[in-house]
Amino acid sequence: MNTTRAPGPSIPLTDELAGVFARMSGLLLSTETVETSLALLSSLAHETMPGSSGAGVSVIEGGRRTSAGSTDDRVRKADSLQYELDEGPCLAATATREQILIDDLEDEPRWPRWAAAARPLGLRAAMSAPLVAGDATVGAIKVYADHPAAFDARSMHLLALFSAQAALMVANVQVHDRAKRLSDGMRQAVRDRDLVGMAKGVLMGRHGVDEDGAFRMLVGRSQEQGAGLADTARKVIDSAVGRRRS
């Protein structure tokens, strides 16, 4: 019966792993998208863990569970099966904040439905570690192998070191992405406000009404057309431009 193993005795941090951490830190300074950053992170995990045939990251944000940056389709499919069946090593690692090791999917009693569904993918071993940043669990990172017993105590220790750094990176790229989405939304709001302002000016000059009257006209047209206020304002401005050109 497979069990979750604690990391083995202290293992020196190799120059190779130190280099990996340096590369991970470099991602935080890049302008890459979140998806690209997580893809690079998964690739680094795959390269770092001996015996790995693929890796990926499960991200939890706003209650949603998604896979990101998977190194191949098998990893994506194995992760999708976990979400569909609501069981598996990544979900367990995230829920318990503990590392998970599966020696052989042929003999895995903890998540029998997922193991049975994942075996046809050619995967035999897996390990997963939670991504914990402060008090928050932002997801889990996992690696798969094509052969049973591919991972040992040293592998688990390496993954623990890797996941500690990866958690910080995932948390940072999530914050960056949320800030970017907010920034994009604010820019759009400013553009919409400017469109409405210009449209009101057109209506004031065209119909001899004050600002409040022009705004009421704009709202009325928006309701009649079943369109958003900004789209209606854009049509008013376009009509004015068209008149000047003709």
- What are the pLDDT digits (tens) for 227-242? 888 888 888 888 776 5
Centre a 10 Å sphere on the Cβ of residue 200 and count the other Cβ atoms it contains.
22
User: How confident is residue 185, by pLDDT bands cut at 50, 70 and 90?
Assistant: low
Domains 15-180 and 181-245 share a fold: no
Q: According to the model, what pLDDT value does residue 169 have?
A: 74
> Structure pTM?
0.63
Q: According to the model, what pLDDT value does residue 2 have?
A: 46
The DSSP letter of residue 13 is -
User: How confident is residue 138, by pLDDT bands cut at 50, 70 and 90?
Assistant: confident
Structural class in CATH, domain 15-180: alpha beta
Q: Please state the separation of Cα 198 from the chain's center in Å.
A: 38
CB 46 within 8 A of CB 143: yes
Closest CA to 60 of 160, 144, 174, 225: 174
CA distances from 125 to 90, 104, 143, 234 (A): 13, 5, 9, 58
Burial class (CB in 10 A: 0-12, 13-18, 19+), 47: middle
Mean pLDDT of the residues in the chain: 80
Q: According to the model, what pLDDT value does residue 181 have?
A: 67
Q: Please state the separation of Cα 202 from the chain's center in Å.
A: 44
Q: Give the CA diameter of the chain.
A: 84
Centre a 10 Å sphere on the Cβ of residue 3 and count the other Cβ atoms it contains.
10
The mean pLDDT of 139-147, rounded to a whole number, is: 94
**Amino acid at residue number 146:** D
In the chain, what are the domain boundaries?
Answer: 15-180, 181-245
Around 152, how many Cα atoms within 13 Å sit in the side-chain half-sphere?
5
Closest CA to 141 of 41, 64, 28, 73: 41
- Cα radius of gyration (the chain): 26
Q: pLDDT tens digit string along 5-61?
A: 444 433 444 555 555 555 555 554 454 566 777 788 888 889 888 899 999 998 877
Q: According to the model, what pLDDT value does residue 200 have?
A: 83
- E strand spans, the chain: 54-61, 64-68, 100-102, 125-133, 136-145
The mean pLDDT of 189-193, rounded to a whole number, is: 73
Architecture of domain 181-245: Orthogonal Bundle (1.10)
Q: pLDDT tens digit string along 75-90?
A: 999 999 999 999 999 9
Read off the tokens for 28: 């935080």
Q: Which helix (H) or strand (E) holds 38?
A: helix 34-48
Q: Residue 243: is its pLDDT beyond 80?
A: no
